[in-house]
């Protein structure tokens, strides 16, 4: 008799949580739709642990994310639609199918060739499933993606069919143009959100041209701001000043001190 694996035991734990008789009331109430926000949160917690370089936290957060997959598999099993083995077998077969240069006899030499092969195989898979051919080059980019990530993917799709600046210089010009239009919109008090969206779109395009993930760049910017603002709070606290009563000028000066403190000491 084969010994159970941790995965087997995790599946059994999930089944127990969903048991109609002795399970957890909260877990029994959940549906595919209701746990989506938890899945997204767990995915971001994995990203956060990776950014911090905390291997123990990465392991822990990956466990939480894995549990989300097991949760969906349990729901699918209860409906008779699929189980965890079906999910694993499906992705195993997909990876083998989409990497003929690794598991087959085809030879690819560059990442660009791999991307082209990947997209071609995906198109064949869609046809085999009876899905209609994409009417637009932008079809298939999930609506649920974070807006920055989705914008980058939409613009990358457009670039593949030639809708792209030849180099980076015009992108800076486009950003300046959009900024001027936003300033005018603010002055006129009209279409401000629309013009701000255009500016963000142009900025994401710049990130794409620079080969920078805009979502990751903003996450790193947020982390930097949090670190410096925390230092600002320490500066005021050490000076016996209250954050709530300090003037903006004082807050800005403290922020600049915090910023300067991060710079390495240069030799005189």
Whether the Cβ atoms of residue 219 and residue 51 lie closer than 8 Å to each other: yes
pLDDT of residue 132: 67
**Burial of residue 83, with CB atoms counted within 10 A of its CB: 0-12 exposed, 13-18 middle, 19 or more buried:** middle
Identify the residue whose tokens are 């071609």.
Answer: 120
pLDDT for residue 111:
74
User: What is the reported pTM?
Assistant: 0.66
**Cβ count within 10 A of residue 196:** 16
Q: How far apart are CA 132 and CA 231, in angstroms?
A: 55
158: pLDDT strictly greater than 80: yes
In the predicted model, is pLDDT for residue 263 greater than 50?
yes
Q: According to the model, what pLDDT value does residue 264 have?
A: 64
pLDDT digits (tens, 9 = 90+) for 86-119: 999 999 999 998 888 888 877 777 777 777 777 7
- Answer for the pair 68, 38: CB distance below 8 angstroms, yes or no: yes
Q: Is residue 232 predicted with pLDDT exceeding 80?
A: yes
Cα–Cα distance for residue pair 245/204, rounded to 1 Å? 37
Model confidence at 29: pLDDT above 60: yes
CA distance 46 to 44: 5
Q: Which residue has the higher pLDDT, 105 or 82?
A: 82
Indicate the range of 26-30, 56-60, 97-101, 230-234 predicted with least confidence: 97-101
Q: What are 113-121's contacts with CB under 8 Å, separation 24+?
A: 121/97
Here the tokens at position 241 are 């000043």
Angle at the Cα of 176 (from 153 to 188), degrees rounded to 5?
Answer: 105
Mean pLDDT, the chain, whole residue set: 90
pLDDT digit string, tens, across residues 191-204: 999 999 999 999 99
43-68 pLDDT tens trace: 989 988 998 899 999 999 999 999 99
């Amino acid at each position: 008799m084969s010994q159970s694996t941790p995965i087997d035991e995790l599946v059994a734990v999930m089944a127990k949580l969903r048991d109609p008789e002795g399970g957890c009331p909260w877990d029994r109430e959940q549906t595919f739709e209701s746990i989506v926000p938890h899945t997204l949160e767990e995915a971001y917690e994995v990203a956060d642990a990776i950014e911090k370089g905390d291997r123990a936290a990465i392991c822990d957060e990956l466990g939480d994310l894995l549990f989300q997959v097991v949760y969906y598999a349990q729901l699918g099993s209860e409906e008779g639609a699929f189980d965890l083995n079906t999910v694993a077998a499906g992705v195993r077969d997909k990876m083998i199918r989409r990497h003929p240069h690794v598991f087959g006899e085809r030879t690819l030499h560059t990442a660009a060739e791999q991307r082209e092969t990947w997209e071609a195989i995906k198109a064949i898979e869609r046809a085999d499933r009876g899905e209609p051919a994409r009417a637009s080059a932008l079809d298939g980019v999930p609506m649920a993606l974070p807006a920055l990530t989705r914008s980058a993917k939409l613009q990358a799709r457009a670039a593949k069919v030639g809708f792209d600046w030849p180099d980076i210089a015009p992108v800076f010009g486009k950003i300046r143009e959009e900024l001027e239009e936003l300033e005018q919109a603010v002055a006129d008090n009209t279409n401000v959100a629309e013009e701000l969206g255009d500016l963000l779109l142009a900025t994401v395009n710049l990130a794409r041209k620079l080969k920078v993930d805009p979502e990751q760049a903003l996450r790193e910017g947020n982390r930097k701001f949090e670190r410096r603002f925390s230092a600002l709070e320490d500066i005021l606290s050490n000076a016996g000043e209250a954050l709530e009563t300090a003037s903006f000028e004082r807050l800005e000066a403290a922020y600049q001190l915090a910023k300067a403190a991060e710079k390495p000491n240069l030799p005189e």
